[in-house]
Amino acid sequence: MKTYRLGLHVGLKEGVLDPAGQATLQVLHQMEFAATEVRIGKWIQVVIEAEDEVRALAIGDEMGRRLLANPVMEAFDVTVTPL
């Protein structure tokens, strides 16, 4: 077994309203930043043991589907880094 760090980006799907992002955009404008859109999601890092990188990616995908993302309104992607 090897050790891997999974990185999951979890964010609201396209078309789902992001009130926290809109609030942040408003503050960026008050600070005179020329931003046009802000989306706020989660960045979840999980350290796991797995046989190889392919298996680690499959575990990350299963974690996303079963626990870390809400399948109704969130999408996610997984990256794998060997430790």
Q: Distance (Å, rounded) from C-alpha 14 to C-alpha 1? A: 37
* Interface contacts to its own copies, rule CB under 8 A: 3, 9-11, 24, 27-28, 31, 33-50, 59, 62-63, 66-68
Compute the least distance from the CB of residue 48 to its own copies, in Å: 5
Phi first, then psi, for residue 61 (nearest 5°) are -65, -40
Compute the least distance from the CB of residue 72 to its own copies, in Å: 19
Structure tokens at 32: 């005179």
Q: Distance (Å, rounded) from C-alpha 25 to C-alpha 37? A: 7
User: Which CB, 3 or 70, lies closer to its own copies?
Assistant: 3
Nearest of 8, 19, 4 to residue 62 by alpha carbon: 8
